[in-house]
């Protein structure tokens, strides 16, 4: 980040959260390009989910660990969904063609990209993120999805 911005985090050119979100965006882009091929390689048999999870865990291991939290992350209760957990959640949802996915606190899109891989498109994704930077990132990563900026704490469960 220092090389990319020309200054250090101590100089205020960037914060660690930027690095974490950039790495997560790279994972989303990778999965948008190769996620379906990874699913095919893992196979549809009984060992398929474990094989897919193993590939995802190897990919996740390339990301920096989240050892620092910004004031905004604490204030907005931002916690990035681990890639393996995002995969497990989407598997448990058993998404099928025609399903619509609402992610009320979409962050950088880990759950969304797993849903996109399962559905084959992003047009059925409705992503909500209150943080401006993350919402803007989602709009760029998922241009076919609906992206809103509501406070998810206020979403009624009816």
Please give the average per-residue pLDDT across 94-116, as a whole number: 93
User: What is each CA distance from 116 to 28, 78, 81, in whole angstroms?
Assistant: 10, 22, 15
Please give the average per-residue pLDDT across 46-56, as a whole number: 95
| Whole-number percent of the chain with pLDDT over 70 | 89
Please give the average per-residue pLDDT across 4-30, as a whole number: 85
* β pairing state of 125-128 and 101-103: parallel
Q: Per the domain annotation, does 8 fall within a domain?
A: no
φ/ψ region of 77 (left if φ > 0, alpha if ψ in -120 to 50, else beta) reads: left
| Interval 124-135: pLDDT, tens | 999 999 888 889
Residue 151, pLDDT > 70, answer: yes
C-beta atoms surrounding 105 within 10 Å: 21
Instruction: Pick the more confident residue, 122 or 154.
Output: 122
Residue 158, pLDDT > 60, answer: no
Q: Per the domain annotation, does 117 fall within a domain?
A: yes
Query: Domains in the chain: how many in total?
Result: 1
The CATH number linked to 130 is 3.40.50
Angle between helical axes of 110-119 and 16-42 (0-180°, round to 10): 20
Please give the average per-residue pLDDT across 81-102, as a whole number: 93
CA–CA dist 101, 93 (Å, integer):
10
pTM of the complete model: 0.84
Please give the average per-residue pLDDT across 36-49, as a whole number: 92
pLDDT value at residue 145: 95
pLDDT band (50, 70, 90) for residue 154: low
- Work out whether the CA dihedral 38, 92, 78, 131 comes out positive or negative: positive
Please give the average per-residue pLDDT across 9-32, as a whole number: 86
Instruction: With CA atoms as reference, report the closest residue to 17 among 68, 55, 63.
Output: 68
Domain of 135 in residue numbering reads as: 14-154
With a CB cutoff of 8 Å and minimum separation 6, the contacts of 4 are: none
Distance linking the first and last C-alpha atoms of the chain: 44
């Amino acid at each position: 980040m220092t090389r990319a911005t020309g200054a250090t985090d101590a100089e205020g050119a960037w914060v660690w959260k930027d690095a974490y979100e950039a790495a997560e965006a790279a994972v989303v882009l990778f999965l948008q390009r190769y996620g379906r091929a990874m699913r095919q390689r893992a196979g549809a048999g009984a060992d398929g989910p474990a094989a897919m999870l193993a590939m995802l865990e190897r990919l996740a291991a390339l990301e920096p660990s989240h050892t620092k939290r910004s004031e905004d992350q604490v204030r907005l209760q931002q916690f990035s969904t681990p890639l393996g957990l995002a995969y497990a959640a989407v598997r448990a949802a058993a998404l099928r063609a025609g399903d619509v996915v609402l992610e009320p606190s979409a962050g950088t899109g880990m759950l969304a990209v797993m849903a996109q891989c399962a559905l084959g498109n992003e047009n059925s994704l409705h992503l909500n993120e209150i943080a401006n930077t993350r919402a803007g990132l989602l709009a760029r990563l998922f241009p076919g999805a609906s992206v809103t900026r509501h406070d998810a704490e206020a979403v009624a469960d009816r």
